[in-house]
Amino acid sequence: MTEVSIRKMGRAGRITLTRPKALNSLSYQMCLDIEAALDDWREDDAVDLVVIDAESDKAFCAGGDIQAMYEHGLKGDYAFGRTFWRDEYRMNAKIAEYPKPIVAFMQGFVMGGGVGVGGHARIRVVGETTQVAMPETGIGLAPDVGGTYLLSRAPGKLGEYLGATSLRMNAGDAIHAGFADHYIEREFWLDLIAQLEETGDAGLVAPAATTPPEAPLKRAQEEIDRLFDGTPVEIAAKVDAADTEFGQSAAKALRRASPLSVCCTLANIARARNVDTVRQVLAFEYEYTYRSMEHGDFLEGIRAQIIDKDRDPKWRHARIEDVSEEDVARMLAPLGEDALSI
């Protein structure tokens, strides 16, 4: 059975993720199929826009198929994961740079690889069930699929907060943070998609939007900016000392994450602020993911969170304070001939 439905409907190219039992997590083949469809429709005069959605009420896409990477990496085969990430990132770049409007309808979980598919679309729709996150630090990775680009453009230090803690956003937060554009209740999505297919007019989306729900992170922006400004060690000290419920929740999430991942995430967000395109950010995200199995915490993170589910990872560093600048530099060094080429 196919894991993604590719077809043309009226004036629209249609991509529907059809792996609901796996929360539409992206397999390697799904990445290749999405890329091939975008390539086919790029010069197709019969296609005015592309609509991306997903089956299932629970998830648009909860991430990449990390279990397959784990199984290969456990055997010392790091090439599979590196190839997966390389080709997935190429697909992410094509979505971000696509010459025709791409409209993404994102319900339920939109995490990691799901942000890579929906978060770079030109028009991003969320609804009442949407929960968006870049959860990588909790599994020994750093935000990737171009997510670092979005984090670096979020207001104030919101990107640092979201990237380091892996915490989730509701629909209002996602719009505030720049991960989405429009709030439309899900009951209206099918009719709107039918209109997009009939007309090929992406301008129909904005008028259909309504006021999004409250964004708790917008309300907490001042505290976020204060707590998440500084070096990783300074940030850790500030959240540890926080006397608010919000600060204590952030501290718990930060201390639960891989210390190496947190430090590399904060470094990458700072780097992303100094470049202009998603493509550039993908290139240095790949520097981390390329090394994440062999030299990082990825395999241990997956073991603890997904495989054994003991939620007790044994990270390479016990605390953020134990991660040196040299440790971060090694994970983020240029890859030379292995560098990402899109």
List active site positions. 64, 113, 136, 144
CA-based torsion, 252, 173, 258, 327: positive or negative: negative
Which residues, at least 6 apart from 120, have a Cβ–Cβ distance to it below 8 Å?
92, 95, 96, 146, 278
Q: With contact defined as beta carbons under 8 Å apart, do 10 and 200 qualify?
A: yes
DSSP letter at 26 equals B
Take residue 211 and report the two structure tokens written for it: 């006021």
Buried b (16+ CB within 10 A) or exposed e, 239-270: beebeeebbeebbebbeebbbbbbbbbbbbbe
- Rounded to an integer, what is the distance from CA 63 to the centroid of its chain? 8
Quote the CA–CA distance of 101 and 12 in Å, as a whole number. Answer: 10
Residue given tokens 């993604």 in the structure block: 4
Residue given tokens 């080709």 in the structure block: 87
- Quick one: which H or E segment has residue 67? helix 66-74
Q: With contact defined as beta carbons under 8 Å apart, do 91 and 35 qualify?
A: yes
Quote the CA–CA distance of 230 and 185 in Å, as a whole number. Answer: 38
> Which residues sit opposite 15 in a β-bridge?
6, 52
